[in-house]
Amino acid sequence: MEDEVFDQIVSVFHDLVAWIAAGAMVFGGVVPYVPQYRDIRRTQNAEGFSTYVCLVLLVANILRILFRFGRYFETLLLWQSIIMIATMLIMLNLCTSVRTATELNTKRRSFIATDNKDEEVRILKRLFLDFDWSYFWLWSRFLDYMQCVLAFTLMAAYITYLFLDSALFVETLGFLAVFTEAMLGTPQLYCNYQNKSTEGMSIKMVLMWTSGDTFKTGYFLLTQAPVQFWTCGLLQVLVDFTILFQVYYYSRYPQKPVSHTVSHTTSAKAL
């Protein structure tokens, strides 16, 4: 009788751990963007966050979903990709609206300063359908980002459909998905380098990136995963630590005067 009760307890505990692990697998990748989303919304300043991070993750997860048609992988990873795509679209929507509002306010202040109060304040609209590569991924409307993502998805899906019987294509597709995700931090790294500052970037987000990527890479090494998995994982960890070094370096050796408001500075230091 006692053995049966013990077996039931172990079974329940095993199921509980499995559910927690599944939830962490599906939603764990989204968690780092929660503090960044809150910071942007609170400060109404998206300057410190690179929207190319969203581009990298959208491409990587769309390719991963298409890869599943050629080689099956567990459903949890599929849901992880779907939720990550939705999260990146939410981040893009926020950043676009904040950036547009900032540009509009700047124009208004400029008009007031030049006494052009009677003229209508307008900002230049940058549209995806203009096909101007000089402002690729810098469009004025969230709709344009949706159009771009939809166009890429349809094109990639059509190519995948044509070459789905090719093992080489399927393996290449899987490698591109993993490698693209490994480049996740490079847009933020470059954005910080351009700004000569990490102000506006959530340090919590980067710390979560680092812990997650370190754990994932260790898992790949311990389970003797294919070489491209742990190689790309090591690349991610290297980029994460480089961004953390930027945080230290630019805070200790400021490269430019603080250009944001006091509230923005305070929120950045609070992180």
pLDDT of residue 270: 34
pLDDT of residue 259: 47
pLDDT of residue 107: 66
* pLDDT in 10s for each residue of the chain, 271 residues: 666 777 778 777 777 776 776 676 677 778 889 999 999 999 988 888 889 999 999 999 999 899 889 887 778 778 888 999 999 999 999 999 998 888 877 766 665 655 555 455 566 788 888 888 888 999 989 999 999 999 999 999 999 999 999 999 988 998 898 889 888 889 889 989 988 888 888 888 899 888 888 887 887 777 776 676 778 888 889 999 999 999 999 988 887 644 444 334 333 333 3
pLDDT of residue 86: 96
pTM: 0.76
DSSP for 192-211, please give it. Answer: HHHHTS-TTS-HHHHHHHHH
Distances 242 to 104, 193, 247, 248 between C-alpha atoms, Å: 35, 11, 9, 10
Place of tokens 């008009």: 111
- Please write the tens of the pLDDT for every residue from 4-59: 777 778 777 777 776 776 676 677 778 889 999 999 999 988 888 889 999 999 99
pLDDT of residue 265: 36
In the chain, DSSP finds a helix count (H) and a strand count (E) of 10, 0
Q: How far apart (Å, rounded) are the C-alpha atoms in residues 197 and 247?
A: 8
